[in-house]
Amino acid sequence: MDLKDPKNQQMLIVGIVMAAVLYFYFFAPFIPFGFRAQLTKYGFLSAQYHKLTLDLAKARQMVNDLPKLQREYEELHAAWLLAKQLLPEEKEVASLLSKVTIAGQQSGVKFALFKPNPPVDEGHYVRHPVEVSVTGGFHEVGTFMSEVANLSRIVNVSRLSLVSLDDKPPDESVQANFIASAYTLKRSAQND
CA triplet 157, 109, 96: central angle to 5 degrees?
Answer: 45
Distance in angstroms (rounded) separating the CA atoms of residues 19 and 29 = 16
In a domain, 64, yes or no: no
The count of domains in the chain is 1
How confident is the model at residue 50, as a pLDDT?
A: 95
Q: Are 36 and 23 in contact (CB under 8 A)?
A: no
Question: Which residue from 111, 98, 115, 124 is spatially nearest to 183, judged by alpha carbons?
Answer: 124
In a domain, 74, yes or no: no
CATH number for the domain harbouring residue 121: 3.30.70.60
| 139: three-class secondary structure by DSSP | helix
How confident is the model at residue 92, as a pLDDT?
A: 62
Q: Mark the ranges of the chain whose per-residue pLDDT is less than 70.
A: 1, 29-35, 84-93, 187-192
How confident is the model at residue 91, as a pLDDT?
A: 60
| Helix runs in the chain, H state only | 6-27, 35-86, 93-107, 138-149, 187-191
Q: What is the CB-side half-sphere exposure of residue 155 using CA atoms within 13 A?
A: 27
In a domain, 141, yes or no: yes
| 13: three-class secondary structure by DSSP | helix
In a domain, 18, yes or no: no
How confident is the model at residue 90, as a pLDDT?
A: 62
Residue 106 belongs to domain spanning: 90-191
In a domain, 154, yes or no: yes
In a domain, 187, yes or no: yes
Please give the radius of gyration of the chain, using alpha carbons only, rounded to the nearest integer: 43
Q: Are 112 and 101 in contact (CB under 8 A)?
A: no
In a domain, 133, yes or no: yes
How confident is the model at residue 48, as a pLDDT?
A: 95
How confident is the model at residue 192, as a pLDDT?
A: 47
In a domain, 132, yes or no: yes
How confident is the model at residue 37, as a pLDDT?
A: 72
